[in-house]
Amino acid sequence: DVKVTQSSRYLVKRTGEKVFLECVQDMDHENMFWYRQDPGLGLRLIYFSYDVKMKEKGDIPEGYSVSREKKERFSLILESASTNQTSMYLCASSLPSGRSGELFFGEGSRLTVL
Amino acid sequence: AQRVTQPEKLLSVFKGAPVELKCNYSYSGSPELFWYVQYSRQRLQLLLRHISRESIKGFTADLNKGETSFHLKKPFAQEEDSAMYYCALGYNFNKFYFGSGTKLNVKP
């Protein structure tokens, strides 16, 4: 089974803190994604990476950055956390394919910014 | 621009009743549509995709290009079907756009 592991299930941070969310997948997938999940808004793509050191902005990249130094690891960084970044963050991975492939999700990281 | 609309935030049905979760999309290219499900305290997972044309856990979904819809249907709902359901549109081979989700509540 594909396993996508997010290092922190719950985090509480203060406004202005730097926050790191880590995600590791064990199936050698090229594609990795960070989404945020908010009630009534569904999942919104923050960043996408299709290879090591390659990244692409999603629909809501403002206030976030990412790092992909190794194929299996994709990190989401909040340089200066704000209260409007309180949310559930989902990491996902997939194989590249001629057609859109299945997304495999982590369990999520619930971030609260005070 | 691509869009996915799920008009119902919450859908409540009784056990054994038919259920239909609506999904409409907007996309200029050839669409790839998916349904993802998230059961309580579990991770989001793929339920079915239009290209497979299969039935999973009794659910089916037919892509209607004329109506730009991909509604999820099940003839007889079960309590274990209670979950959050997301319709998703795949585009540019590797990207996905999700709807806002519908919470299905199946009452005993």
Which residues of B lie closer than 8 Å to A, measured between beta carbons? 6, 9, 32, 34, 36, 43-46, 49, 51, 86, 88, 90-91, 93-101
Q: Tell me the sheet residues that pair with B34.
A: B49, B88
Structure tokens at B104: 């299905």
d(CA A110, CA A108): 6
What local confidence, expressed as pLDDT, does residue B65 receive? 86
Other beta carbons within 10 angstroms of residue A15's beta carbon come to 11
Q: DSSP per residue over chain A, as a string?
A: ---EEES-SEEEE-TT--EEEEEEESS--SEEEEEEEETTTEEEEEEEEEETTEEEE-S--TT-EEEEEETTEEEEEESS--GGG-EEEEEEEE---SS----EE---EEEEE-
> Would you put residue B74 in left (φ > 0), alpha (ψ -120 to 50) or beta?
beta
Q: What is the mean pLDDT of chain B?
A: 91
Q: Which residue is it, tokens 């509480």?
A: A12
Instruction: Out of A40, A90, A100, name the one closest to residue B9 (CB).
Output: A40
Asked if the Cβ–Cβ distance from B93 to A105 is below 8 Å, we say: no
pLDDT digits (tens, 9 = 90+) for A35-84: 999 988 999 999 999 889 899 999 999 999 999 999 999 999 999 999 99
More confident residue, A87 or A51: A87
| B chain contacts of residue A100, beta-carbon cutoff 8 Å | 32, 34, 90-91, 93-96
Lowest mean pLDDT among A61-70, B70-79, B88-97: B88-97
- What secondary structure letter does DSSP report for B64? B
A61 touching B, CB under 8 A? Answer: no
Asked if the Cβ–Cβ distance from B46 to A41 is below 8 Å, we say: no
What local confidence, expressed as pLDDT, does residue A97 receive? 61
Q: Classify each residue of B70-90 as buried b or exposed e, where b means 16 or more C-beta atoms within 10 Å of its C-beta.
A: bbbebeebeeebbbbbbbbbb
Q: What is the mean pLDDT of chain A?
A: 92
What local confidence, expressed as pLDDT, does residue A1 receive? 67
Q: Tell me the sheet residues that pair with B59.
A: B56
Lowest mean pLDDT among A10-14, B32-36, B82-86: B32-36
Asked if the Cβ–Cβ distance from B43 to A106 is below 8 Å, we say: yes
What local confidence, expressed as pLDDT, does residue B90 receive? 86
What local confidence, expressed as pLDDT, does residue B95 receive? 81
| A80 CB burial (10 A radius; 0-12, 13-18, 19+) | exposed
pLDDT digits (tens, 9 = 90+) for B15-56: 999 999 999 999 888 888 999 999 999 999 999 988 777 888
